Amino acid sequence: MHSRKSPGSTPAPPEITYTNCRRCGTEIAGLDGRYACGVCGWTNHYSEGYRPLPTARDDPDWTGPHCR
Ligand SMILES: [Zn+2]
């Protein structure tokens, strides 16, 4: 009696990835291929990430389009 997690029921957590900053060369960590260098401020474009960005509706704090 083994219970397996069924894939697709819950989104996978972000994967931690590493790269070298393209501006200053510092090794930096990011999530899902998106990086922000804390040394020089370089960031890569969000479209370079492995997955599409979550929308506001995917945010657990999202309560509606008119909520502020
Ligand atoms: Zn940098």
DSSP for the chain? --PPPPTTSSPPPPPEEEEE-TTT--EEEEETTB-B-TTT--B--GGGSSSPPP-GGGSTT---TT--
Output the pLDDT for position 5: 62
pLDDT in tens, 42-62: 999 888 887 776 688 888 888
- Taking the centre of ligand 1 as the mean of its atom positions, its distance from the CA of residue 40, in whole angstroms, is 4
* 42 Cα–ligand 1 center, Å: 5
- On whether the pTM is more than 0.85, the answer is no
**How does the average pLDDT of the chain come out, rounded?**
84
Q: Which amino acid is at 41?
A: G
Give me ligand 1 centre to Cα 16, in Å: 18
